[in-house]
Amino acid sequence: MNKEDENIDNELWSLYVEGHKQPIPPGISEKVWAGIRRRKQKRQRIMIAASVAASLALLITFFVPANQEQSDAEKRRLLQEALSMFPEEEKTPNEVDIIYEDDMIIIYVGN
């Protein structure tokens, strides 16, 4: 109770006030600050993890499709190279008798 105020002029009230004052736990400010610091560090860790994840996602976005395109181009180049090994007349016979043909295979006899 504050002495400079117009207090309740009664010892009974003082007894009641003293009995109901809540004792402050020792070191509460330090505990609070430690809690704030833990939260701060947790947030920093989350931010770092999110940044790393975003960077990885960005790298994958840029590099993986590029690799696939290179791979397709490489395949086309290899195919062309393989085809060029055969003489032109071998690729398309002038006169052929088709013995069997379906979606997958053509069997023919040519000169």
Shortest separation between residue 25's beta carbon and other proteins, angstroms: 6
Shortest separation between residue 47's beta carbon and other proteins, angstroms: 15
Q: Is 96 helix (H, G, I), strand (E, B) or coil?
A: strand
Q: How far apart, in whole angstroms, are the C-alpha atoms of residue 69 and residue 81?
A: 18
Alpha helices in 9-108, H assignment, sequence order: 11-20, 28-84, 88-91
* DSSP E strand boundaries for 1-111: 96-101, 106-110
23 or 87: CB nearest other proteins: 23
28 or 83: CB nearest other proteins: 28
Shortest separation between residue 2's beta carbon and other proteins, angstroms: 7
**Phi and psi for 97 in degrees, rounded to 5?**
-110, 115
32 or 50: CB nearest other proteins: 32
Measured at the CA of 41, the angle between CA 37 and CA 44, to 5 degrees, comes to 140
Shortest separation between residue 59's beta carbon and other proteins, angstroms: 33
- Residue ranges in contact with other proteins by CB under 8 A: 1-2, 5-10, 12-13, 15-17, 19-25, 28-29, 31-33, 35-36, 39
